[in-house]
């Protein structure tokens, strides 16, 4: 008996018990549906993070404080307060550097009338705008005069502006940041994104204002410390040589002979770390959803065992007229695979519908985005087929092992 004959008999057998076949496939449908939906959420998050990071540019370097040692114990990376405004100024004259933007990071509660929100506040210089490839939607950005005068002015991210002012124009209005009055001079262009580092949920004040009013920056070798120095280089291909030049300048300024008290990372390093985190999350979500596929496979095995019992006399007759063990084995395996693959395909359709429905749904400050890719679909369908093959093997082998005389005598 060839495969076409086995397929025809399998379809006839499944068709004669439509309700049972539908309930058997239900476990596979739910499992594949969950896998597709979870993988689409994970891939969507990964794509969003990648887009958000790469939109800034690939030719960026981040110089951050390193770690310190106390009584032989080394502290965590970034715990040292060893970078200063003056360090940033010293890097501006290096070749192949087109922008240097030091920043100070803090958090503030922003209030306008009855509206308020908590946001990340960055103390920046005018160079931040070009260095970080950001744009204004309205008003003006922090100027050199604002930095010199410690001006109480603020530029709002698009999301912050929407929360505080809704559709009204914020420029020229006054808000309170941690109880202090600031005048809004501009609103940033929306960049999109979710999570803690969403640029739309930030606000920008002059660097000196942040140091004196919000974060109370410390001192290091007579200079005011900063959280990070953003450096824009002319070409990504020159990254290694620029990193070496920056390191030499900072080592000389900090009188370092052994261990650096700073670290330098690139935009690609940030992207790789983000992709690693979102990739691990995607695998975790897919793994959780795949558990339901195992449950569906157990359901297939259970129904196939019932089918073997019901069709014992049929098996005996087929063996008596010449069917071999491999024919019976193939017959029942074909039925199990048809059930699992059919359920998998239906599950893909329902999973895609669910992914479409939840895309754009906001949970707190995070907006869910979904992305269904071909490898996810193939993985789900092939895994469902493998589940059918695995859990259908025992019932098929049991059917193939029946002795024809015993099968014919079965009532």
pLDDT tens digit string along 96-113? 888 899 999 988 999 998
Region 365-380: mean pLDDT is: 78
Do residues 32 and 384 touch, judged by C-beta distance below 8 A? Answer: yes
Is residue 347 classed as helix, strand or coil in its secondary structure?
A: helix
Which of 45-49, 55-59, 182-186, 300-304 is predicted most confidently?
182-186
Beta strand 153-156 pairing with 202-206? antiparallel
Whether 74 has a pLDDT exceeding 60, the answer reads no
Residue 66 is predicted with a pLDDT of 75
Largest CA distance in the chain: 101
Is residue 225 classed as helix, strand or coil in its secondary structure?
A: strand
Region 221-247: mean pLDDT is: 84
| Cα(305)–Cα(396) distance, integer angstroms | 8
Of residues 261 and 174, the one with the higher pLDDT is: 174
Whether 357 has a pLDDT exceeding 60, the answer reads yes
Residue 36 is predicted with a pLDDT of 87
For CA atoms 76, 77, 78, 80, the dihedral sign is: positive
Whether 24 has a pLDDT exceeding 50, the answer reads yes
Whether 145 has a pLDDT exceeding 90, the answer reads yes
Task: For residue 165, count other CB atoms closer than 10 A to its CB.
Answer: 19
Residue 71 is predicted with a pLDDT of 45
- The pTM of the full predicted model, rounded to 2 decimals, is 0.63
Of residues 136 and 380, the one with the higher pLDDT is: 136
Least reliable range by pLDDT among 105-109, 218-222, 327-331, 393-397 = 218-222
**φ/ψ of residue 264, rounded to 5:** -120, 125
Do residues 106 and 299 touch, judged by C-beta distance below 8 A? Answer: no
Do residues 96 and 241 touch, judged by C-beta distance below 8 A? Answer: yes
Beta carbons within 8 Å of 387's beta carbon, 6+ residues apart: 28, 31, 293, 294, 296, 297, 300, 340
Whether 193 has a pLDDT exceeding 70, the answer reads no
Band of residue 123 on the pLDDT scale cut at 50, 70, 90: very high
Least reliable range by pLDDT among 43-47, 143-147, 262-266, 318-322 = 318-322
| Cα(359)–Cα(176) distance, integer angstroms | 35
Which of 35-44, 83-92, 215-224 is predicted most confidently?
83-92
Chain-centroid distance, C-alpha 296: 28
Which of 51-60, 136-145, 310-319 is predicted most confidently?
136-145
Residue 80 is predicted with a pLDDT of 61
Q: Please, what is the average pLDDT of the chain?
A: 81
The strand pairing partners of 330, in sequence order, are none
- Give the burial class of 95: count Cβ atoms within 10 A of its Cβ; 0-12 exposed, 13-18 middle, 19 or more buried: exposed
Residue 405 is predicted with a pLDDT of 65
Provide the 8-state DSSP code for 328: H
Beta carbons within 8 Å of 102's beta carbon, 6+ residues apart: 83, 85, 87, 88, 124, 125, 207, 226, 228, 229, 230
| Cα(240)–Cα(283) distance, integer angstroms | 33
Region 269-287: mean pLDDT is: 77
Residue 363 is predicted with a pLDDT of 63
Residue 2 is predicted with a pLDDT of 62
Residue 204 is predicted with a pLDDT of 96
Residue 124 is predicted with a pLDDT of 94
Whether 364 has a pLDDT exceeding 70, the answer reads no
Of residues 404 and 64, the one with the higher pLDDT is: 64
Whether 78 has a pLDDT exceeding 70, the answer reads no
């Amino acid at each position: 008996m060839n495969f076409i004959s086995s397929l025809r008999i399998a379809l006839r057998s499944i068709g004669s018990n439509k309700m049972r076949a539908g309930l058997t496939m239900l476990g596979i449908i739910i499992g594949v549906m969950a896998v597709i939906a979870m993988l689409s959420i994970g891939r969507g998050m990964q794509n969003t993070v990648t887009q958000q990071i790469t939109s800034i540019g690939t030719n960026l370097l981040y110089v951050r404080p390193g770690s310190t040692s106390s009584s032989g114990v080394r502290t965590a990376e970034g715990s040292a307060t060893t970078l200063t405004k003056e360090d940033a100024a010293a890097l501006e004259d290096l070749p192949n550097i087109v922008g240097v933007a030091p920043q100070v990071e803090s958090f503030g509660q922003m209030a306008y009338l009855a509206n308020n929100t908590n946001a990340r506040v960055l103390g920046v210089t005018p160079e931040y705008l070009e260095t970080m490839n950001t744009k204004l939607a309205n008003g003006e950005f922090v100027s050199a005069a604002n930095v010199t005068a410690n001006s109480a002015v603020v530029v709002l991210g698009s999301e912050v502006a929407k929360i505080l002012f809704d559709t009204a124009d914020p420029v020229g209005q006054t808000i309170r940041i941690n109880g202090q009055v600031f005048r809004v001079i501009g609103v940033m262009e929306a960049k999109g994104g979710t999570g803690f580092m969403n640029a739309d949920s930030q606000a920008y004040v002059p660097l000196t204002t942040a140091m004196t009013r919000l974060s109370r920056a410390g001192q290091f070798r007579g200079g005011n410390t900063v959280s990070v120095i953003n450096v824009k280089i002319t070409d990504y291909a020159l990254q290694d040589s620029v990193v070496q030049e920056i390191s030499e300048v900072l080592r000389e300024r900090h009188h370092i002979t052994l261990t650096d008290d700073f670290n330098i990372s690139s935009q690609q390093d940030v992207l790789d770390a983000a992709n690693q985190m979102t990739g691990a999350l995607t695998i975790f979500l897919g793994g959780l959803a795949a558990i339901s596929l195992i449950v569906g496979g157990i359901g297939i095995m259970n129904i196939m065992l019932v089918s073997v019992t019901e069709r014992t006399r049929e098996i005996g007759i087929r063996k008596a007229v010449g069917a071999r063990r491999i024919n019976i084995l193939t017959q029942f395996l074909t039925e199990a695979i048809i059930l699992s693959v059919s359920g998998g395909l239906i599950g893909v359709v329902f999973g895609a519908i669910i992914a479409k429905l939840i895309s754009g749904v906001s949970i707190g400050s995070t907006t869910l985005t979904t992305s269904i890719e071909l490898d996810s679909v193939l993985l789900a369908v092939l895994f469902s087929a493998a589940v059918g093959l695995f859990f259908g093997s025992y019932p098929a082998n049991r059917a193939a092992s029946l002795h024809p005389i015993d099968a014919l005598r079965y009532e």
